């Protein structure tokens, strides 16, 4: 029954299905294999964004947004701070982000290197 359900979800909701698989560390295959599968389905992989990304990968229609959980060297505490502060409104610019979220330099560099701004 589980196999049928997974096959149905992959066929009818490929972006959502693949985003969930990648968020759950994919299992047997690497995340890269699932991203390649998404591209084969015509799904765009969107880079992490400080205003649009959540903790997990998120799929909708023909797009998958990389989650903050996948940014190397970004601590869980930093992700929690970002998501909590974003509830007060989107960040206007890098200065606004740095003013509102108290991150250490390593976390800010990880976000910058990932292209979140």
pTM above 0.85, yes or no: yes
Q: Give exposure, 76-101, as e/b (b: 16+ Cβ within 10 Å).
A: eebbebbeeebeeeebeeeeebeeeb
- The two tokens of residue 44 are 């765009």
- The pLDDT, as a whole number, for residue 75 is 97
Model confidence band, residue 37 (pLDDT cutoffs 50, 70, 90) = very high
pLDDT at 25: 86
């Amino acid at each position: 029954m589980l196999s049928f359900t997974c096959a149905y979800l992959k066929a009818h909701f490929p972006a959502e299905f693949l985003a969930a698989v990648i968020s759950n560390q994919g299992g047997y295959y690497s995340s890269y294999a699932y991203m390649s599968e998404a591209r084969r389905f015509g799904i765009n992989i969107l880079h992490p964004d400080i205003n649009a990304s959540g903790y997990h990968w998120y799929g909708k229609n023909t797009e998958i947004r990389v989650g903050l959980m996948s940014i190397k060297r970004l601590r869980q505490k930093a992700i929690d701070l970002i998501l909590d502060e974003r509830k007060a409104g989107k960040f206007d610019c890098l200065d606004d982000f740095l003013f509102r979220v108290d991150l250490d330099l390593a976390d800010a560099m990880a976000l910058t290197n990932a292209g979140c701004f």
